[in-house]
Chain A
Amino acid sequence: MSSHIDTIKKSELVGDQYKYGFVTDIEVDLAPKGLNEDIVKLISHKKDEPDWMLEWRLKAYRHWLKMKPPEWQKVSFDPIDYQDAYYYAAPKSGNKPKSLDEVDPTLIETYNKLGIPLREQEVLAGVEGAPAVAVDAVFDSVSVATTYKAKLEEVGVIFCSISEAIHTYPELVKLYLGSVVPFGDNYFSALNSAVFTDGSFVYIPKGIRCPMELSTYFRINQENTGQFERTLIIADEDTHVSYLEGCTAPMRDEHQLHAAVVELIALENAEIKYSTVQNWYPGDSKGKGGIYNFVTKRGACRGDNSKISWTQVETGSAITWKYPSCILQGDNSVGEFYSIAITNNYQQADTGTKMIHIGENTKSRIISKGISAGHADQTYRGLVRMQKRAEKARNYTQCDSLLIGDTCGAHTVPYIESKNPTAQVEHEATTSRINEDQLFYCRQRGLTDEEAVSLIVNGFCREVLQTLPMEFAVEAQKLVGISLEGSVG
Chain B
Amino acid sequence: MALLEIRNLHVKVENKPILNGVNLKIEPGEIHAIMGPNGSGKSTLSYVLSGRDGYQITDGEIIYNGIDLLELEPDQRAREGVFLAFQYPVEIPGVVGLTFLKTALNATRIHRGQNELDAMDFLKFVREKAQSLEIDDEMLKRFVNEGFSGGEKKRMEILQMAILQPKLAILDETDSGLDIDALQVVSKGINALRDANRGMLLITHYQRLLNYVRPDKVHVLANGRIARSGDEALAQELEEKGYAEFNVFVE
Contact = CB atoms under 8 A, between A and B. Distances in A.
A56 to B, nearest CB: 46
B92 to A, nearest CB: 5
B57 to A, nearest CB: 12
A274 B104 CA distance: 34
A444 B73 CA distance: 9
A463 B93 CA distance: 11
A442 B79 CA distance: 12
Given A440-B52, A441-B86, A448 B94 contact: no
Given A443-B78, A448-B107, 15 more contacts: A1-B53, A440-B52, A440-B53, A440-B74, A441-B86, A441-B92, A444-B84, A444-B86, A446-B108, A446-B111, A452-B75, A455-B92, A458-B95, A459-B95, A461-B94
A45 interface: no
Pairs A-B, 6 closest by C-beta atoms: A459-B94, A462-B94, A459-B95, A445-B104, A446-B107, A446-B78
B99 to A, nearest CB: 8
B187 interface: no
A449 interface: yes
A77 B62 CA distance: 52
At the interface, is chain A mostly helix, strand, loop or mixed?
helix
B92 A444 contact: no
Interface in A430-489: 435-438, 440-449, 451-452, 455-456, 458-463
Contacts of B50: 444
B75 A449 contact: yes
B75 A447 contact: yes
Interface in A39-65: none
Interface string A395-437: 0000000000000000000000000000000000000000111
Nearest to B81: A446
Interface in A227-265: none
B104 A456 contact: no
Nearest to A1: B53
A465 to B, nearest CB: 9
Contacts of B212: none
Q: Which of B50, B84, B95, B99 has the most CB of A within 10 A?
A: B95
Contacts of B144: 459
Interface string B62-103: 000000000001110011000110100111111100011001
Contacts of B160: 445
A3 interface: yes
Contacts of B74: 440, 443-444
Interface string B31-53: 00000000000000000001111
A441 B143 CA distance: 14
Contacts of A449: 75
A124 to B, nearest CB: 21
Contacts, number: 79
Contacts of B164: 445-446
Interface in B107-125: 107-108, 111
A443 B74 CA distance: 6
Contacts of A435: 90
Contact of A447 (B51, B83, B107, B143): B107
Contacts of B79: 446
A462 B50 CA distance: 29
A436 B74 CA distance: 13
B104 A446 contact: yes
A448 B75 contact: yes
For the side of the interface on A, what is the size category? Answer: 20 to 34
16 contacts: A441-B86, A441-B89, A441-B92, A443-B51, A443-B75, A444-B78, A444-B86, A446-B78, A447-B75, A459-B92, A459-B94, A459-B95, A459-B143, A460-B93, A461-B94, A462-B94
Given A440-B52, A455-B100, A459-B143, A445 B94 contact: no
A219 B103 CA distance: 33
Contacts of A436: 53
A455 to B, nearest CB: 6
Contact of A3 (B73, B84, B92, B94): B73
Nearest to B54: A436
A460 B78 CA distance: 24
Interface string A63-97: 00000000000000000000000000000000000
A449 B73 CA distance: 10
A386 B152 CA distance: 45
A441 B90 contact: yes
Contacts of B78: 443-446
B103 A451 contact: yes
Nearest to A369: B94
B104 A447 contact: yes
A437 B84 CA distance: 13
A446 B92 contact: no
Given A444-B78, A446-B75, A449-B75, A456 B84 contact: no
Interface in B172-204: none
Contacts of B99: 455
Q: Which of A437, A443, A462 has the most CB of B within 10 A?
A: A443
B60 to A, nearest CB: 18
A445 B143 contact: no
A451 B164 CA distance: 17
Contacts of A443: 51, 73-75, 78
A1 B70 CA distance: 11
A455 B108 CA distance: 16
Nearest to B78: A446
Given A440-B52, A444-B78, A456 B86 contact: no
B7 to A, nearest CB: 22
A387 to B, nearest CB: 35
A429 B90 CA distance: 23
Interface in A178-237: none
A455 B93 contact: no
A451 to B, nearest CB: 7
A433 to B, nearest CB: 15
Nearest to A459: B94
B157 to A, nearest CB: 10
Contacts of A458: 94-95
A438 B89 CA distance: 9
A463 B91 CA distance: 17
B52 A463 contact: no
Interface in A346-394: none
A32 to B, nearest CB: 51
Contacts of B91: 438
Nearest to A454: B103
A1 B143 CA distance: 32
A366 B100 CA distance: 28
Contact of B107 (A440, A441, A451, A459): A451
B75 A438 contact: no
